[in-house]
Amino acid sequence: MLEDNDLPQGEDKAIIVEQMFDQIAHRYDLINRLMTFRMDVRWRRRTVRGLALEPGSTVLDLACGTGDFCNDLMRYELNPIGIDFSAGMLAAAATDAPLVRADALRLPIPDSHVDGITCGFALRNFKDLNSFFHEISRVVRPGGRIGLLDVGQPSHPLLRWGHRVYFGTLVPKIGALLSDADAYSYLPKSVDYLPESEKMLTELRVAGFTDVARIPLTGGITQLFLGTQGT
């Protein structure tokens, strides 16, 4: 599907990403748990706690995939709505939360309508991250909260090296064995789409969020961005 170091851009990227997740949906949860040693569960719950929203708040989980974040939001007595553009991922979802098939960059949601937003491991998959930040700013009410998770780069050199070897070599092998070789070789390459964290913090501020913070998790292999809608 993809040549080495050939990362698609624009509309091509959106089409390839949607097809890729349709393709890997049936084994997505299994491989996620295996390759993160179940740490993904802890990272999502840390994100939900970081929102610090009142029970009963409405939270959009964008790029919800198979619904893990929705389940964690419900565990904390929040009311999630999952949104994803991959019909395959939504069909494989195991959650009681309402799910909607839509593009996270063009949300079918009125302005200032929700109390919070979560998004797990999808920032690098969007064709335009800046548009995404502006779109979430549009739909979150003033004072509402966002929690965005994605992969990161550990700052410790040894951990950084080990992570590169694991993520760049072993994960594609596990993926090829249990699911789809192309998709799981794209995964480590897709990290190159993510801007430097300082740039992301600036873009979030420009989009209207205050109190923005980046929290490295598990030595920085994952990063959490938190913010409050300021306008």
Ligand X SMILES: C[S@@+](CC[C@H](N)C(=O)[O-])C[C@H]1O[C@@H](n2cnc3c(N)ncnc32)[C@H](O)[C@@H]1O
Q: Which stretch binds ligand X (CB under 6 A): 73-81, 97-105, 163-171, 197-205?
A: 97-105
116 phi and psi, to 5 degrees? -165, 170
Closest CA to 113 of 49, 60, 53: 60
Beta pairing, strands 79-84 & 99-101: parallel
Letters for 8-37 (x = contact with ligand X by CB under 6 A, - = none) are ------x--xx--x----------x-----
User: Quick one: which of 80, 120, 208, 220 contacts ligand X (CB under 6 A)?
Assistant: 120
| 103 touching ligand X, by CB under 6 A | yes
Min dist CB 147 to ligand X, Å, is 11
Q: Does 105 bind ligand X (CB under 6 A)?
A: yes
- Contact flag: residue 121 with ligand X (CB under 6 A): yes
Q: Nearer Cβ to ligand X, position 119 or 210?
A: 119
- Give burial (CB, 10 Å; 0-12/13-18/19+) of 9: exposed
Orientation of helix 68-75 relative to helix 39-51, angle to 10°: 50
Taking the CA atoms of the chain, what radius of gyration do you get in angstroms? 17
Q: Which residues bind ligand X (CB under 6 A)?
A: 14, 17-18, 21, 32, 63-65, 68-69, 84-86, 89, 103-105, 120-122, 125-126
